[in-house]
Amino acid sequence: MATYRVYIRRPGTKAPLVDWMQTVVADDAKTAIGYAYANWVNDKPTPPPPPLSQCDAQAVLKATAAAALLGSSAVSAGQQAFIDDIQNQVSKLLATQLDGAFHVVIYPSGFNYGITYGSNAYYNRCKTSTRY
């Protein structure tokens, strides 16, 4: 998993301006652009976004999740094996409760909490009513 900064521009918007930018954790740049575009559509802006095929989109690689944890140092084979093992065990344990695959996303304290993962990275508030 890698961290991408995604920039999306409507056909009529001139560089360097952008209509939507978001930091996304994804497997590749194409997936990151898809997640960011889905979040843009879900935000329901006025006017609505044009189809992604008409937009100018760019994903800039920022860092991998494990590299963010370890700073600029590389992840050793043992550390990657541990991350993969934890990810596989949790995926098996929660397979019936998760909508998709479980991925380990690691970030150091002070990291931008606005980083989103996937197209549904919004806070879901409790849907219970308050009685007075």
| Cα 112 to Cα 3, 48, 73, 115, 116, distances in angstroms | 12, 27, 20, 6, 10
pLDDT confidence of residue 8: 93
Tell me the percentage of the chain whose pLDDT exceeds 70: 66
pLDDT confidence of residue 37: 94
| Cα 125 to Cα 26, 41, 97, 128, 129, distances in angstroms | 25, 20, 19, 9, 11
Give pLDDT tens digits for 61-79. 875 544 444 444 456 778 7
pLDDT confidence of residue 31: 92
Q: Which of 111, 74, 106 is nearest to 87 (CA)?
A: 106
Residue 51 has which token pair? Answer: 């189809």
pTM of this prediction exceeds 0.95:
no
One digit per residue, the tens of pLDDT, for the chain of length 132 reads 788 889 999 998 888 888 998 888 888 899 999 999 999 999 888 899 999 999 999 998 875 544 444 444 456 778 778 887 888 888 888 877 877 677 766 655 555 556 555 555 554 444 444 444
Q: Domain limits of the chain?
A: 2-117
DSSP state, 114?
T
